[in-house]
């Protein structure tokens, strides 16, 4: 993978961690989810109105990704209801790179060299290290199943969008219509929770929408990278956002334990080097 593509994906990962840090501690995660979706829709509509439509072959993937995202949001919320963020998020995002790489190999025919598989494995291992064994024991089986289900949906929409953006002929147009389709998520979540939205306050609403814009930028960069490099390698490097988030927790919020997070970051960094050599 070229240095330029690595830089794009790491930038996407950093932005993904940044918006998570911005909305950290939101009291109403469901309404915040609607605001983030709205933050996707606003630039999506603006871009879609000024760009040519993506190729017809890609529309089915936009539809599929939109439907899969509904499942992702549902399972993620279900996992958070029964398990800590420190367990659910690393499990969900740590399992995804290997699932994506295997699916891309079996379905899309993307064969990766051994060093790339080692790099992807190192990134997943580094993310899983963030999970403290004592915390896992406190999560009921239903919560862990929901976390792994979330990983499957991450893999599903990553593959769908990776194939779709390549067929679109216009990566930015694909992104624009993908984000525009999230109007249904925003309308449903915010339209049915008006009182809870008003109770959040103007500052939190602005942070939620801004987080959505940053999140959208991060995903757009990742999708563009998928037009330049194998899906499994890009997706694995994108999940380094978990490490950025962990480091934000140490440096920004004073969270611990620091040693586990630093070891995790070091292993992931080694995985990035291996992918760069592939």
Q: Give tens-digit pLDDT for 132-184.
A: 766 676 778 888 888 889 889 989 999 999 999 999 999 999 999 999 999 98
Say how many domains are in the chain.
1
- What pLDDT band is residue 250 in, cutting at 50, 70 and 90? low
Residue 234, C-beta contacts closer than 8 angstroms, at least 6 positions apart: 5, 9, 162, 222, 225, 226
Mean pLDDT of 209-218: 90
Nearest Cα residue to 116 out of 200, 29, 6, 230: 230
- What is the distance between the alpha carbons of residues 245 and 173, in angstroms, rounded to a whole number? 29
pLDDT of residue 256: 62
Question: Which has more pLDDT, 241 or 12?
Answer: 12
Nearest Cα residue to 236 out of 97, 121, 117: 97
Q: Whole domain around residue 137: which residue ranges? A: 3-277
pLDDT of residue 63: 95
Say if CB 26 and CB 32 are below 8 A apart. yes
Question: Which has more pLDDT, 136 or 10?
Answer: 10
Radius of gyration of the chain (CA): 18
């Amino acid at each position: 993978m070229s240095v330029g593509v690595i830089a794009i994906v790491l930038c996407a990962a950093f932005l993904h961690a940044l918006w998570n840090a911005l909305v950290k501690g939101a009291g109403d995660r469901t309404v915040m989810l609607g605001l983030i979706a709205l933050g996707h829709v606003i630039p999506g509509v603006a871009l879609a109105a000024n760009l040519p439509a993506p190729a017809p072959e890609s529309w089915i993937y936009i539809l599929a990704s939109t439907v899969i995202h509904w499942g992702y949001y549902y399972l993620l919320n279900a996992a958070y209801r029964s398990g800590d963020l420190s367990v659910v998020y690393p499990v969900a995002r740590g399992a995804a790179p290997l699932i994506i790489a295997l699916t891309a190999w079996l379905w899309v025919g993307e064969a990766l060299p051994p060093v790339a598989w080692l790099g992807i494995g190192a990134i997943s291992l580094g993310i899983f290290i963030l999970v403290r064994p004592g915390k896992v024991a406190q999560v009921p089986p239903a919560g862990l199943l929901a976390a792994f289900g979330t990983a499957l949906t991450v893999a599903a929409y990553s593959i769908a969008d990776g194939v779709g953006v390549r067929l679109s002929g216009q990566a930015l147009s694909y992104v624009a219509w993908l984000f525009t389709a999230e109007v249904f998520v925003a309308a449903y979540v915010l339209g049915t929770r008006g009182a809870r939205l008003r109770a959040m306050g103007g500052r939190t609403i602005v942070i939620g929408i801004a987080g959505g814009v940053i999140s959208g930028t991060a995903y757009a960069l990742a999708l563009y990278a998928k037009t330049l490099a194998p899906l499994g390698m890009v997706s694995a490097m994108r999940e380094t956002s978990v490490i950025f988030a962990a480091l934000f927790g140490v440096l920004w919020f004073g969270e611990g334990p620091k040693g586990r997070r630093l070891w995790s970051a070091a292993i992931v960094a080694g995985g990035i080097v291996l992918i760069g050599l592939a």
